[in-house]
């Protein structure tokens, strides 16, 4: 049972790894203040994937049962490992789960709801029960403000920051991708911004993208409060230690870590290009390779003929999942060839690893532009018209970054400088957020708290 003076917060992230991780980290950060009791609500398959041993006592996991169907069995109520053609079914099923969520709300009666995209029902259900609902965005403010600006002004006004833009093939790709239409559609992604109660939380910090945080505030006419960077805690398993031992034997900053996140799957052509680029770079590498559910392939067959023999000793392929945070913090890693998922970008800054960016889809293009503008990344050059990769170019960028030449040395210096700034920044901003949350929720409930609630 919760202490009656503790505020009850219900958190419900979208069903993707890249959302669940920062939501859980925010839950832990809130729980540390001892002012909140957190109900963390998600589908059984996602809750089962959470390591419950180290979970603070004031976080309770709450099951959100979505309707199962032959097309979408309950073990697929997550985007992780979901066959590509079922993503829109999952979005739709979640979008229709409002009545189930209403029951959860009524049984828990939280003082505050922290919600995410793809939940058009969340703010309405909460506000009809006088519960403040707050949007927590898990991608960067440069990207959110870029897409929101375009949604609001529909091409009538230029985005005020020239560093963030889409290349021709990217703009074409985003309009053509069905998933993107769903995810940047006004009913979903921007619904949260518009319905959020007075404040919007975002997993970033002013040191990384302060001007975009401010611009998002202007666009949304709400306080946009950065609460990041929220970085996931490390995993330690014996499986993981093998790769760490491999890194231990390599020279400092001599390896490139290659990963495309939890949801993007490389095409056969991309696998070949990347393999050849890594070979051409002549650098040590760790490459995480994954295939969609039902399309698992023998790794050897997926790679160019003889590749594994040729790179033996120099490169390792990790199947499915690597202990990314542990790899990035290792001194032998000198660069990260990255798809630009937001969590990966924050991790690269947190661990001070220079990026070689290869954005694939969605918001990754604009995340890449932001890191290049920051000076902490070099982007792999593609064909302007069709976005095709070029192995010589890719190898060159990888080498420049890892070997710190032709500008790569500046990237390294910048990433180290920013890492220091982020680690040394105080918690004043977060304290302000806590104040605001307490204030919002105590509007509905008189609570005797020691915390100094300041009116703004």
User: Distance between CA 58 and CA 36 in Å, rounded?
Assistant: 7
Q: Of 39, 18, 19, 35, nearest to 108 (Cα)?
A: 39
Q: Give whichever of 198 and 239 is closer to ligand UDP, judged by the CB atom.
A: 239
What are 217's strand-pairing partners? none
Whether 116 is a known active-site residue: answer yes
Q: Give whichever of 220 and 343 is closer to ligand UDP, judged by the CB atom.
A: 343
Q: For the CB of residue 261, give the shortest distance to ligand UDP in the complex, in Å.
A: 3
In this structure, what are the phi and psi dihedrals at residue 346, rounded to the nearest 5 degrees?
-65, -40
Q: Give whichever of 324 and 332 is closer to ligand UDP, judged by the CB atom.
A: 324
Q: Give whichever of 132 and 261 is closer to ligand UDP, judged by the CB atom.
A: 261
Cis peptide before 56 (omega within 30 of 0): no
What is the three-state SS of 43-59? CHHHHHCCCCCCCCCCE
Q: Which of 19, 149, 330, 339 is catalytic?
A: 19
Geometric angle at alpha carbon 299, from 297 and 302, rounded to 5° = 75
Q: Which of 77, 111, 116, 197 is catalytic?
A: 116
Q: Give whichever of 14 and 307 is closer to ligand UDP, judged by the CB atom.
A: 14
Q: For the CB of residue 333, give the shortest distance to ligand UDP in the complex, in Å.
A: 13
Q: Of 175, 424, 193, 228, nearest to 342 (Cα)?
A: 228
Q: For the CB of residue 139, give the shortest distance to ligand UDP in the complex, in Å.
A: 8
Cβ–Cβ < 8 Å for 354, 328? no
Q: For the CB of residue 385, give the shortest distance to ligand UDP in the complex, in Å.
A: 25
What are 317's strand-pairing partners? 287
Q: For the CB of residue 405, give the shortest distance to ligand UDP in the complex, in Å.
A: 27
Estimate the crossing angle of helix 342-351 against helix 408-424, to 10 degrees: 90
Q: Give whichever of 102 and 325 is closer to ligand UDP, judged by the CB atom.
A: 325
Q: Give whichever of 317 and 403 is closer to ligand UDP, judged by the CB atom.
A: 317
DSSP string covering 348-385 = HHHHT--EEE---STTHHHHHHHHHHHTSEEEPPB-TT
Q: For the CB of residue 105, give the shortest distance to ligand UDP in the complex, in Å.
A: 27
Estimate the crossing angle of helix 391-402 against helix 408-424, to 10 degrees: 60
Whether 17 is a known active-site residue: answer no
- DSSP helix, strand, coil percent of the chain (3-state; round to 5): 45, 15, 40
Cβ–Cβ < 8 Å for 113, 134? yes
Q: Of 75, 126, 70, nearest to 98 (Cα)?
A: 126
Q: For the CB of residue 15, give the shortest distance to ligand UDP in the complex, in Å.
A: 12
Cβ–Cβ < 8 Å for 339, 364? yes
Contact residues toward ligand UDP (CB under 6 A) are 17-18, 21, 232, 259, 261-264, 288, 321-322, 324-325, 341-344, 347
**Structural tokens at position 86:** 């079922």
**Structural tokens at position 386:** 């069709």
Chain residue whose CB lies nearest ligand UDP: 341
User: Distance between CA 309 and CA 287 in Å, rounded?
Assistant: 15
> How far is CA 131 from its chain centroid?
27
Q: Give whichever of 357 and 441 is closer to ligand UDP, judged by the CB atom.
A: 357
Cβ–Cβ < 8 Å for 436, 378? no
Q: For the CB of residue 323, give the shortest distance to ligand UDP in the complex, in Å.
A: 6
Q: Of 124, 146, 138, 142, nearest to 194 (Cα)?
A: 124
Q: For the CB of residue 337, give the shortest distance to ligand UDP in the complex, in Å.
A: 13
Q: Give whichever of 17 and 399 is closer to ligand UDP, judged by the CB atom.
A: 17
Number of H helices, E strands in the chain: 20, 13
Q: Which residues are catalytic?
A: 19, 116
């Amino acid at each position: 049972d919760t202490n009656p003076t503790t505020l009850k917060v219900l958190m419900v992230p979208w069903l993707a790894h890249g959302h669940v991780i920062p939501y859980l980290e925010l839950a832990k950060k809130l729980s540390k203040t001892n002012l909140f009791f957190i109900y963390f609500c998600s589908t059984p398959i996602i809750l089962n994937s959470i390591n419950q041993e180290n979970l603070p006592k004031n976080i309770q996991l709450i099951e959100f049962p979505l309707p199962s169907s032959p097309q979408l069995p309950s073990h697929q109520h997550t985007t992780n490992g979901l066959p590509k053609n079922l993503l829109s079914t999952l979005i739709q099923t979640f979008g229709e789960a409002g009545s189930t969520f209403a029951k959860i709300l009524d049984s828990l009666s939280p003082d505050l709801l922290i919600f995410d995209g793809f939940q058009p029902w969340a703010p309405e259900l909460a506000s009809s029960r006088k519960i403040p609902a707050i949007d927590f965005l898990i991608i960067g403010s440069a990207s959110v403000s870029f897409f929101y600006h375009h949604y609001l002004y529909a091409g009538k006004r230029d985005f005020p920051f020239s560093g963030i833009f889409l290349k021709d093939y990217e703009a074409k790709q985003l309009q053509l991708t069905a998933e993107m239409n769903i995810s940047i559609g006004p009913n979903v992604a921007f619904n949260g911004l518009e319905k959020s109660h007075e404040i919007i939380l975002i997993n970033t910090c002013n040191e990384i993208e302060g001007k975009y945080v401010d611009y998002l505030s202007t666009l949304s006419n709400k306080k946009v409060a950065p609460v990041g960077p929220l970085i996931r805690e490390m995993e330690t398993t014996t499986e993981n230690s093998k790769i760490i031992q491999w890194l231990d034997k390599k020279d400092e900053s001599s390896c490139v870590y290659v990963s495309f996140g939890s949801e993007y799957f490389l095409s056969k052509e991309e696998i070949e290009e990347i393999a050849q680029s890594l070979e051409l770079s002549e650098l040590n590498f760790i490459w995480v390779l994954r295939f969609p559910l039902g399309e698992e392939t023998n790794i050897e067959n997926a790679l160019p003929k003889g590749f594994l023999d040729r790179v033996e000793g120099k490169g390792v392929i990790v199947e499915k999942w690597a202990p990314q945070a542990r790899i990035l913090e290792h001194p032998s890693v000198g660069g990260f060839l990255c798809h630009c998922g937001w969590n990966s970008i924050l991790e690269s800054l947190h661990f001070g690893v220079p990026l070689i960016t290869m954005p694939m889809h969605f918001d990754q293009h604009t995340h890449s532009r932001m890191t290049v503008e920051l000076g902490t990344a070099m982007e792999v050059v593609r064909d302007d018209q069709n976005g095709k990769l070029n192995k010589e170019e890719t190898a060159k960028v990888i080498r420049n970054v890892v070997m710190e030449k032709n500008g790569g040395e500046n990237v390294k210096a910048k990433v180290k400088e920013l890492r220091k700034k982020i680690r040394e920044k105080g918690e004043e901003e977060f304290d302000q957020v806590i104040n605001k949350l307490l204030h919002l929720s105590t509007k509905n409930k008189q609570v005797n708290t020691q915390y100094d609630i300041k009116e703004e």
